[in-house]
Chains A and B, each alone.
Chain A
């Protein structure tokens, strides 16, 4: 079946540290891949996306590259800020699945000053 697996959290970093949150997927077709972010007390917001292999999604200093050979879409940021503290969800969708998103379990990031 189709699924998404993320690294376990919580992840605690100091401000300006480098961030990587690992995400791997299993899909029967060619998925589009997404990172959503959920700030405390808020809903899900799209952070970035990539729709085909080797695409790089980027937004707010975050990046993720769609790697078909390793079925991965790891999220990276060179220098995190306290305001990046949130839960990050990796997700995929397949065209023949009616646009349904399949989420990973979420990774909580806590950035300390």
Chain B
């Protein structure tokens, strides 16, 4: 069964450092997403991406965050200058279409720890 692959599975970084989280979505999917889950809290939407541009972003997704699909297969989330409160599990997801019958497939997540 096709799957979404995320790397790294766990990254530890110092506050103020740049972090790039990588995702390989399912190959024929067209819509891409990043979500995050702070420990013990709700899974929160960060950003959606379609046709090489951001479709929607949440208020969490400020100027410190950026996404890109540099080579047609990878989908990356960059945090320019990490803060302690960025510590969370980050999930990538992809979807073929936005039809209600079509589900998001999530990766296993990248755990980010900011010290």
Whole-angstrom distance between the Cβ of B71 and the nearest chain A Cβ: 23
**Would A106 and B43 be within 8 Å (CB), given that A43-B108, A98-B55, A100-B56 are in contact?**
yes
Contacting residue for A98 out of B44, B98, B106, CB 8 A: B98
Q: A99 an interface residue at 8 Å Cβ cutoff?
A: yes
Q: Residue of B at shortest CB range from A52?
A: B100
Q: Mark A64-107, 1 if CB is under 8 A from B, else 0.
A: 00000000000000000000000001000111011111111110
Q: Mark A27-62, 1 if CB is under 8 A from B, else 0.
A: 000011010100000111110010100000000000
Whole-angstrom distance between the Cβ of A45 and the nearest chain B Cβ: 7
A32 touches B100 (CB 8 A): yes
A-B contact count (CB 8 A): 64
Q: B83 an interface residue at 8 Å Cβ cutoff?
A: no
Contacting residue for B42 out of A44, A45, A93, A104, CB 8 A: A104
Q: Residue of A at shortest CB range from B47?
A: A100
A45 touches B106 (CB 8 A): yes
Contacts beyond the supplied A46-B104, A99-B98: 12 A-B pairs with Cβ under 8 Å = A42-B108, A43-B107, A43-B108, A46-B103, A49-B103, A93-B104, A98-B31, A99-B102, A101-B33, A101-B104, A105-B42, A106-B43
